[in-house]
Amino acid sequence: TSMTASPHIPKVRLPSGELLPALGWGTWGMGERPANRAAEVAALQWGLAAGFSVIDTAEMYADGGAEEVVGGALAGRRDQAFLVSKVYPHNASRSGVVAACERSLRRLQTDHLDLYLLHWRGRIPLAETIAGFEQLQAAGKIRHWGVSNFDSSDLHELSTLAGGQHCAANQVLYNLSRRGIEWQLLPVCQQSGMLLMAYSPLEQARLLKHPQLENFARERGATVSQI
């Protein structure tokens, strides 16, 4: 890959051994207002230039609108990004996940995803979703696949299924006020070598007004988000 990152950005490792910046861009909320599109594209491009190459999106966000924003931001820059998207559970049958991925690729204006996630657990058997992911991987449409919002029992079930050992990541809610995963889920991911991705690290900006964090940051000459 041609991705580069500032030496000041810590790295994490995928099960494949590939190194990624530990900090990336979420796009939940993007693509909802046409008037914001230029600013959203500019923000993502600024992040790429700064070395934050991981961009996370989903077909759910703005009903595909966030993927379209990301596609615009990556025009001429696709090789700079590690691109993540997610499939709705109701689209996650073997054929459904393939069709959903194709739609996402068109909106993103690319021929492949670096990581494709099942957004959350649904009614479709996991074996079907895995089969669809493996089909996409064999076709070169995705490089890695994973899950999101899975608890430790979900991961255990996944590990018993054919191909389940290929799961590269689990994306879950995790921040300073949401630390429940530290009891069981985080150790399970660490023991298996699976990458754990944290979403809403600032609790959708609510942590930025936390009095203790404000004091802690002020004493160190930093912002709450930096802390």
| Known catalytic membership, residue 119 | yes
Number of Cβ within a 10 Å radius of residue 110 = 20
Rg of the chain on CA atoms, in Å:
18
DSSP 8-state assignment for residue 178: B
C-alpha torsion 198→209→34→42, nearest 10: -70
174, amino acid identity: Y
Q: Which of 61, 116, 144, 174 is catalytic?
A: 61
CA 53, chain centre distance (Å): 12
The single residue of 8, 88, 112, 119 carrying the catalytic annotation is 119
Is 61 a catalytic site residue?
Answer: yes
- List of residues 6+ apart from 166 with CB closer than 8 A: 130, 133, 134, 137, 145
The size of the chain, in residues, is: 227
Strands (E), the chain: 11-13, 19-21, 25-26, 54-56, 82-87, 113-118, 142-148, 167-173, 195-199
Active site residues: 61, 119
